[in-house]
Amino acid sequence: MTTLPGSQGVNWMVMQQPIEISRNQIERFAKLISIDARPVQPQNNRFVLRSS
């Protein structure tokens, strides 16, 4: 199996200050990571915690 089944938890880190990237950087990244195989998950009872 080369792709995770999507049943694991995921930890997201969200920056307090936005980080901007150019269209060129997005296009270059899309060429490197052309397939996002993780399916969209329902929110269920998950929530976002904010760290100070």
**What is the distance between the alpha carbons of residues 21 and 41, in angstroms, rounded to a whole number?**
26
Query: Quick one: the chain helix, strand, coil %, rounded to 5?
Result: 20, 0, 80
Residues 6 and 41: beta-carbon distance below 8 Å: yes
Tokens describing residue 6: 């999507």
Q: Which amino acid is at 30?
A: A
Please tell me whether the overall predicted TM-score, pTM, comes out greater than 0.95 for this model.
Answer: no
Encode pLDDT of 1-52 as tens digits: 456 666 777 777 788 888 899 999 989 988 888 776 777 778 788 777 777 7
**What is the distance between the alpha carbons of residues 16 and 14, in angstroms, rounded to a whole number?**
7
